Structures are given as C-alpha cells and as structure tokens.
Amino acid sequence: MGAPPLLQVDVAIVVMANTAGLELWIEDAAVASTYILLAAEQFNVGACWIHMRNRAGQRLSADEEIRQLLGVPDNFSVLNVVALGVKAENKPARTESDLPLKNIHRERF
C-alpha cells in the first residue's frame, strides 16, 4: 500500500533492524536510510524513502508482508524501503534566498 514506485525501480533496499532488546532501532534505521539517500544523491541515482512501519499491507501489516516475502525472522522490524533508480528529473538546487525566513524563530516561538 502506497508503494507503487517499487514496481518500477532498479533496486530496492529494505531497511530493517533486529529489535530484540534495542530501544532505539527506529532512530538507528532512520540514520542508515538517510545515509543511503545521501549516497544515492552523491552518485546521481534517484532515490525514494517508502515508509513501511505501521502501514497496512494487502493482507497483513507492510512489515509482516515484507518479512514473509524475504524470509526474515520475527525479531526484525522493517522501517522502510529505499527505492533506487534512474532519476525522472533533476531539480535545481535551492539557495539561501529560497528560505522562508518568517519560519525561523529565535529564542521564542
């Protein structure tokens, strides 16, 4: 559900963690995902974070369906899938003048 881009990608990286006794697995997996996205950009590869945690699948949760498909044990949880492929477009870089300065608050909200 919500993952149609996966049907057209060249590579998909399933980001998961062994959750047994790990309090911060979500944060750790998110950091790993971010580095994958940054590395893809460095090599001009298109990348998209497709969130799976707490999402519905066709019959089970997205996490359970992915683990079943890949034969992953129950003590692992899937955070997301990073889809990699050829970029559909190259957007121009943003500059400092693009920043909405009215949204920056100093010392007080």
**pLDDT tens-digit series, residues 42-66:** 999 999 999 999 999 889 999 999 9
CA distance 55 to 60: 9
The predicted pLDDT at position 39 comes to 98
The residue extents of the domains of the chain are 7-88
| Banded model confidence at residue 84, pLDDT cuts 50, 70, 90 | very high
Report the CATH superfamily, name and number, of domain 7-88: NADH Oxidase (3.40.109.10)
Q: Residues, the chain, total?
A: 109
pTM recorded for the entire structure: 0.81
| Banded model confidence at residue 2, pLDDT cuts 50, 70, 90 | low
The predicted pLDDT at position 93 comes to 87
Q: Which two tokens stand for residue 55?
A: 């999402």
